[in-house]
């Protein structure tokens, strides 16, 4: 019988996780399918337990469900430390929560030849993805500044993550100054995501050559932020790497199989190239 997997989110229509995972299942000859479902915060508990009852192989979670899920599953140590869950594993009678976002982000930077240790990193946003990325970067020796529209959230997140490294939180009022001082700039917000593709928190005049600009938004592939960064001479990293590499970790958790990374990335890029 076919095994089903899915991503839950609200909104979730933009997600390319099904494209990526279904390409992997097909390449490995696995009788599995991956779908996407719109699930609200209020319905998350019932949706997770419903998926388990129907024999799903596993789940991914995206905006805005990652933090709430922490209270609905048995988080592994990393997800507990991060404070967010993006991958759910059904193991016997247990529902285990994992977080692969941070690993995906760090591996994206490493594969792009970016040195993380001792770098000044500006992380824009303080949601579930920001939690995971901040934790992993700080644990790898980066000096992380979290800037968020609501400063209180950034300060609280920084306090939570500071147990593993140097992290501070602030608002967006001095964003230009923060950008100027940063080696690596990472957008973890939804600003610039389809359909609002002309939006960006940081513009060309705020950046300079040699900086690294990493946008976790992958639809569109070349976001307004990345376009502005290229005009400034910065090194850019798009969100596809992050999407694929966090998905690779999820795939391993669910199946204990080694996923075809190149095929997964090519499938996503092919779809985005046609849009």
Distance of CA 8 to the CA centre of its chain: 14
Q: Which stretch of DSSP H or E encloses residue 235? A: strand 235-237
The length of the chain, given as a count of residues: 275
How far apart CA 96 and CA 118 sit, in angstroms, is: 33
Secondary structure of residue 117 in the 3-state scheme: coil
Q: Which stretch of DSSP H or E encloses residue 270? A: helix 261-274
Note whether 128 and 66 are within 8 A (CB): yes
Nearest to 131 by CA among 61, 52, 198: 61
CB-based contacts of 55, cutoff 8 Å, min separation 6: 1, 3, 4
Q: What are phi and psi of 50, to 5 degrees?
A: -65, -40
Indicate which residue of 2, 36, 66, 224 is catalytic.
66
52 part of the active site: no
Identify each DSSP E strand in 55-142 by its residue range. Answer: 58-61, 74-75, 87-91, 94-98, 120-124
Identify each DSSP E strand in 218-257 by its residue range. Answer: 235-237
- By annotation, the residues acting in catalysis are 66
């Amino acid at each position: 019988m076919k095994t089903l997997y899915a991503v839950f989110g609200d909104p979730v229509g933009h997600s390319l996780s099904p494209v990526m995972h279904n390409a992997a299942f097909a390449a490995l000859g696995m009788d599995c399918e991956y779908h996407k479902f719109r699930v609200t915060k209020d319905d998350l508990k019932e949706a997770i337990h419903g998926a388990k009852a129907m024999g799903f192989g596993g789940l991914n979670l995206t905006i805005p469900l990652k933090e709430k899920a922490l209270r609905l599953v048995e988080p592994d140590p990393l997800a507990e430390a991060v404070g967010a869950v993006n991958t759910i594993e059904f193991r016997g009678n247990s529902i285990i929560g994992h977080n692969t976002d941070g690993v995906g982000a760090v591996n994206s930077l490493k594969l792009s030849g970016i040195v993380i240790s001792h770098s000044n990193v500006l992380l824009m946003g303080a949601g579930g993805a920001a939690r995971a990325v901040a934790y992993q970067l700080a644990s790898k020796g980066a000096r992380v500044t979290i800037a968020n529209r609501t400063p209180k959230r950034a300060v609280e997140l920084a306090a939570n993550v500071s147990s593993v490294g140097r992290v501070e939180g602030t608002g967006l009022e001095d964003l230009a100054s923060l950008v100027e001082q940063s080696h690596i700039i990472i957008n973890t917000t939804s600003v610039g995501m389809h359909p609002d593709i002309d939006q960006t928190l940081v513009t060309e005049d705020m950046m300079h050559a040699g900086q690294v600009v990493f946008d976790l938004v992958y639809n569109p592939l070349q976001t307004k932020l990345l376009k502005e960064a290229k005009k400034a001479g910065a090194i850019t990293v798009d969100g596809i790497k992050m999407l694929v590499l966090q998905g690779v970790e999820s795939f391993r958790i669910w199946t204990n199989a080694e996923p075809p990374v190149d095929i997964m990335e090519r499938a996503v890029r092919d779809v985005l190239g046609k849009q």
